[in-house]
Structure 1
């Protein structure tokens, strides 16, 4: 999950999860919580832009215009992407570009 409108100059990655087994058809509430490690078996949560693994919820600055949060899922030509728990979102994106068969994105908007 990526905030394209974060005031950083490069956006903000809220969640990076890879290697989700192909038989997993949904992510349930709480599966991004790195503390309880409820992510689907076999998957890997790497660092978000807070420097921690797992999901970091939306938190646009008060008064900002609504932020676009992009959630993208990828169909890959490999079961394991080849990244690890300390891989950056940039490295993950590079690896995804080498293995993507198809992708779909959903944009959600949030403001406070």
Structure 2
């Protein structure tokens, strides 16, 4: 791991700006996270760039789930958005690996994926600049009391406003990733 610490964005992560209805937290886990806390290479944009599997604990009366993944260590004003997905079926307690990059998913049915900060839909894996040190990736999960009636071109700030009015509970998992030393 590099000793270099990246400059951070000045803006708070989405999860810090949403006050849930319940104090109960959601526990978020992934088999993609290595014992040292890092995200496996296959999920990074330096390698296979596939979305990692996520699991979360149950929350009563959930109608839908939303996921936002951000990197606050990106050298820019706002955290880098790696993934936005919402309207994941409420009865699910996770998403599978490799969900694809379509704006509207068939599986899990009804899921909408917004644009990441590279301009594509769905997951864009970690790709911190070479020599920039370790970056942190926050996998934020929101339990919602209703669907979000917004399309895939919804920007994060509008999704945030929808989350503020619908979040029953929230939770997060943080994983790290550092650029490979050789390409």
Task: Assess same fold via TM > 0.5.
Answer: yes
CA contact (8 A) 1:5 1:67 kept: yes
Gaps in structure 1 of 5+ consecutive residues? none
**Do residues 7 (structure 1) and 7 (structure 2) align?**
no
Please report how far the alpha carbon of residue 81 of structure 1 lies from its aligned counterpart in structure 2 after TM superposition.
1.1
CA gap 1:110/1:43 in 2 versus in 1, 3 angstroms: same
**Do residues 109 (structure 1) and 176 (structure 2) align?**
yes
Please report how far the alpha carbon of residue 18 of structure 1 lies from its aligned counterpart in structure 2 after TM superposition.
0.2
For 1:15, what is the secondary structure of its paired residue? Answer: strand
Work out the CA distance in 2 between the residues paired with 1:26 and 1:77: 17
The Cα offsets for residues 59-98 of structure 1, whole Å up to 9 and x where unpaired, read as: 00111121110001111111x1122110011111111011
2:120 equivalent among 52, 60, 67: 52
**Do residues 31 (structure 1) and 90 (structure 2) align?**
no
Work out the CA distance in 1 between the residues paired with 2:71 and 2:126: 8
2:155 equivalent among 51, 76, 88: 88
List structure 1 runs of 4+ shifted beyond 2 angstroms: 32-35
For 1:93, what is the secondary structure of its paired residue? Answer: helix
CA contact (8 A) 2:101 2:120 kept: no
Work out the CA distance in 2 between the residues paired with 1:110 and 1:68: 7
Please report how far the alpha carbon of residue 34 of structure 1 lies from its aligned counterpart in structure 2 after TM superposition.
2.4
Gaps in structure 2 of 5+ consecutive residues? 1-68
Aligned positions, number: 111
Work out the CA distance in 1 between the residues paired with 2:148 and 2:102: 19
1:64 is aligned to 132
For 2:162, what is the secondary structure of its paired residue? Answer: helix
Work out the CA distance in 2 between the residues paired with 1:93 and 1:64: 29
TM-score, normalising length from structure 1? 0.90
